[in-house]
Amino acid sequence: MSSFLLILYIITSGLAFLGVVFYGARPSRSLSWLFVIVFMPFIGVIFYLLFGINRRKIKFFKLKQTYKRRLYDSNHHMANDHKPFEKFKSNKKEKLATLISNNNKYLPFDGNKVEVLQDGKSTFASIFEAIKEAKSFIHIQYYILEEGELLDEMFNLFKEKIAEGLEIRVMYDAIGSFDWRRKSIKRFKSIGVTICSSMPLRFGNFLFSFNYRNHRKIVVIDGVIGFTGGFNLTDKYIKSNTNMGIWEDTHVKIEGPAVESLHKVFIKDYYFASKEDILLDSKYLPKQEIKGNSIVQIVASGPDSDYAAIMQQYIMLINLAEDFICIANPYFIPSSQVLTALKIAALSGVRVKILLPEQSDSITARYCMRSYFEEIIAAGVEIYLKRDAFLHSKLILIDNEIVSVGSGNFDNRSFDHNFETNALIYDSVLAKEVHEVFITDCESSLRVNEAQFKERPIQDKFFEGLARFFSPLL
């Protein structure tokens, strides 16, 4: 009798498991973690401790670093001499700016000049040119710093600027820049560059530092020129070493009052990486001049934030759209809130286009992304797959009025676990330029056909469903 019950349990459990894999529409994070814990004994528990705990909500698991970073915000509120922009004519812009001001404390500022950079050669040419013209200091923060031509060129520029008496500070993420060799780091330090890890891997700090990565990409020159977006410092953007092709991304160069907000993000991270508070000096926060006509608002989010600011920003943009939404992202693994917002927008008549890479640097992420295709295409969303390069841009644009460029992906990691930075640009002229490039990319990409996609092999459906269980880890 006991054998019969055991066999019956195995069969029914197996059938139930296959049913969820093939037909589970919206598996929750709790179910995902239950799956990991049950089917990966011992290891699953460790994974949950490292990756699954929501430190915003579970007070017992809040760590000292989170508390200290929040206290820093309270004790070091640095005012910008340039008054924030307050006279939006558009109600949608006013609502979005108010949300961002409340959930991460950075205000919108007008008088900015913004240049959108969309390929590796022009982006790094612009950054290197700004470094050449630097007069006082250079502050750089990347998730990935990798050996190659770009890093060698930066070293040579740094050597020249150090000789001129400039201060240079570089931050990197310990996991993202894992391949950056110690010998190379020592080479930079030997010429006078100050280098530190924004999220070092240490035994006493392991639970906080391993999963909570600093994914930001920030360059600030003399406190008056800023760069941010999706580009890392790697040769993948200038030459192809894999079948995915050259990496394509989107970055912005900002001049004007919003640079101070971007620099404050760097200053806070630098303080916690180096324990030095010298960057609070007025030397590093010069008075900003009017440089252009763009209104820019910086969005910064991380596990130390009270709110998931990046996710809230994306949801608000989706909800505010009246005509169309354009999204480009390499890791489209939306939360249930974002997924619902997108479907509501499409079903209400807003045209939604999503541009994704056909190939991915993560096979699990690729299958997980595709597990969402059927339901959002059924709601009217258009999906395009870029085939001639690896799309790494993190871009969202609505109604040719507002565009966001930054480091935040559409996934759980960017929403809850990573330190991220986006630039929100309230500029119709610039939004139209970005829209034209986006449409051109879509026209040269493969649009996913609903009928054909439904006919994909059954093993693909299985791996998609399986990968979706692991979405909390991605």
Closest residue by Cα to residue 225 from 111, 138, 166, 119: 138
Tokens of 12: 């029914």
Provide block-wise average pLDDT over 10 residues at a time, the chain (474 residues). Answer: 52 39 46 58 53 48 53 58 79 94 92 96 97 98 95 97 97 88 90 89 57 91 97 93 86 97 94 84 91 96 88 97 97 93 98 95 91 95 94 97 97 90 97 97 96 92 85 64
Which of the residues 268, 394, 417, 461 is marked catalytic? Answer: 394
DSSP letter at 425 equals E
Q: Cα dihedral sign for 372, 376, 377, 381?
A: negative
Q: Give the pLDDT of residue 6.
A: 52
Out of 119, 173, 249, 399, which one is annotated catalytic?
A: 399
What domains does the chain contain, in order, with CATH numbers?
Answer: 2-52 (no CATH), 59-63+306-473 (3.30.870.10)
The DSSP symbol for 361 reads S
pLDDT at 201: 65
pLDDT recorded at residue 143: 95
The pLDDT value given to residue 465: 86
Spatial separation of the C-alpha atoms in residues 401 and 385, rounded to whole Å: 25
Verify whether residue 304 is a known catalytic residue. no
The DSSP result for 160-211, as a single string, is HHHHTT-EEEEEE-TTTTTTS-HHHHHHHHHTT-EEEESS---GGGHHHHTT
How would you classify the pairing of strands 446-447 and 324-328?
Answer: unpaired
Tokens of 283: 């030397």
Q: Could you tell me which residues are beta bridge partners of residue 253?
A: 115, 227
- Check: CB of residue 202 under 8 Å from CB of residue 209: yes
Work out the number of other CB atoms within 10 angstroms of the CB of residue 59. 7
392 is catalytic: yes
- The pLDDT of residue 181 is 81
How high is the pLDDT of residue 61? 39
Q: Given the residues 215, 236, 386, 417, select the one marked as catalytic.
A: 215
**What is residue 14's predicted lDDT score, i.e. its pLDDT?**
42
44 exposure class (CB count in 10 Å sphere: 0-12, 13-18, 19+): middle
- pLDDT attached to residue 282: 85
Identified catalytic residue from 173, 222, 235, 416: 222
Question: Among residues 361, 127, 390, which one has the least CA distance to residue 239?
Answer: 390
Q: Rounded to whole angstroms, how far apart are CA atoms 96 and 402?
A: 10
| Residue 217 a catalytic site member | yes
Residue of 82, 253, 392, 461 marked active site: 392
Task: Judge whether 222 counts as a catalytic residue.
Answer: yes
Active-site position among 93, 139, 217, 263: 217
According to the model, what pLDDT value does residue 311 have? 96
